Amino acid sequence: MLESGEIDALISVDVPRSLLDGSTKIARMFPDYETVERDYYRRTGIFPAMHIVAVPREMATRADLMISIYRAFCAAKEIAQQTYRQGALKQHMAVVTPWFSKHFEENRALLGEDWWPYGLNANREALDTFLRYHYEQGLSKRLLTSEDIIVPALLDS
């Protein structure tokens, strides 16, 4: 759709195949996106969330279930982060990407040990900023806050 002109832009975690294949009809909005993203983080302290977990409203009232799910996600993330930290001891040989260890070091220096923190306390500014943009761009009828969208049992997370 980008190549044919049906749409002018796309926001997606997935890179369009045609861009990877070298299309001359489309381009990244920010060719040096890594520099732009790192600068944004340095200026704002915000690194956008990778994934958001949504639950049906009736589940949100079950505090014990919500806390258990949250803790399970935290434990799984810790396993993944530990894998990266252990990989650093061997130059990340399992990741066959040149200079991956250098990027890993740079990311840790900039983002700290927990580059995708979980919980409201660590993400309040990012969430409230997103919600403000959502409202300012006319996508929501009222300005929401983190407290409006976070499961009550996890407001202290």
> Which distant-in-sequence residues (6+ apart) come within 8 Å of 50 by Cβ?
116
pLDDT at 88: 87
pTM summary value: 0.78
pLDDT in tens, 18-50: 999 999 999 998 999 999 999 999 999 998 887
pLDDT in tens, 68-126: 999 999 999 999 999 988 998 888 888 888 999 999 999 999 999 888 899 999 999 99
Tell me what pLDDT residue 11 has. 87
Q: What's residue 82's pLDDT?
A: 92
* pLDDT of residue 12 exceeding 90: no
- Name the band, by pLDDT with cuts 50, 70 and 90, for residue 13: confident
Residue 136 has pLDDT above 90, yes or no: yes
pLDDT at res. 51: 81
pLDDT, residue 157, reads 93
